[in-house]
Amino acid sequence: MIINLITDAPKHNLALMKISSFHKAMGDEVYLKSPVKADLVYGSWLFNQDYYSNISGGPGLDPTIKLPAEIEDCKPDYSLFSIDYSLGYTWEYCPRKCSFCVVPKMNNGKVHHSIWEFHDTRFKKICLLNNNTLSDPKWRETFEEIWEANLIVHDENGYDLRLLDEEKAEALKRTRFEKEIHFSWDFIEDEAKIIKGMELVKKCKINACVFVLIGYPDMRPIDDTDIYRCQKIADYNFSIFPMPYNGGNKQLRAFKRYIRLFAYKNYKTVAEGWRDYQPEKRRSIK
């Protein structure tokens, strides 16, 4: 049987990697985004389905669709994408119910997994796709496995500042990350817990980047709460990464450019620099 796999994911797709392993074990020929005439086409969509497939799923289509157990239990096929790290979940659940996020709709169970269910020893790096690692009661087991295997963490998701304590902060500091560790501050209402978390990050001298949701829920203009959050993060000397909701509008994207170009560092405050910022004179960030 000839199998074709298609996706709109720009880097990798774990579901398709497991599907590929399953079908190759059955002796099938597996292709990725190929014009080959296939007997069966699987589609996994992060955003919107843009090509016909016999079997479709993914958060962009229906976040409740799950892989069959016999496929879910397969190790990923790392030959499918050009990546140099292992990929998988040790904990899929997230206790947050953020209305802008698709994760609560996925109904992920509270099941802990070992990295050895998906880690390939050919790689020196590992990418955890966890939605909220620090909410896992067995979070330390994950880090201990990473330390024991002497792995570098290539993380694409962040860590919850509201759940950070000294033990967790020290574990993050001990872990080797490929880049800055990502955190987020989505809502001003969480300020007390966020500040407590940032204090621990600073105390442990963690190289951090804090993502800031802006424009939610209706592409609202930049307001004092956005400026305030960015200023607080700047005061801790962490990197700031504004995240315009749903891609944002012209003003939200301009604010993101202003922050990511570090233009605010030429002023005493983030607010003062934003008043003077002229986005049409700045090169855009892709």
Higher pLDDT, 71 or 279: 71
Peptide bond into 217 cis (omega under 30): yes
pLDDT tens-digit profile of 164-205?
A: 999 999 999 999 999 999 999 999 999 999 999 999 999 999
Average pLDDT for residues 224-243, to the nearest whole number? 98
CA 69, 109, 216, 273 dihedral sign is negative
In whole angstroms, give the CA distance from residue 115 to residue 242.
Answer: 31
pLDDT tens-digit profile of 46-71?
A: 988 878 899 999 998 999 999 999 99
* Domain segments of the chain as ranges: 1-78, 84-157, 180-286
pLDDT tens-digit profile of 103-157?
A: 988 889 999 999 999 999 999 999 999 999 999 999 999 999 999 999 999 988 8
Helix axes 166-174, 139-148, angle to 10 degrees: 20
Confidence at residue 285, expressed as pLDDT on a 0 to 100 scale: 47
In whole angstroms, give the CA distance from residue 80 to residue 19.
Answer: 10
Given a cut of 80, is residue 282 above it in pLDDT? no
This prediction has a pTM of 0.91
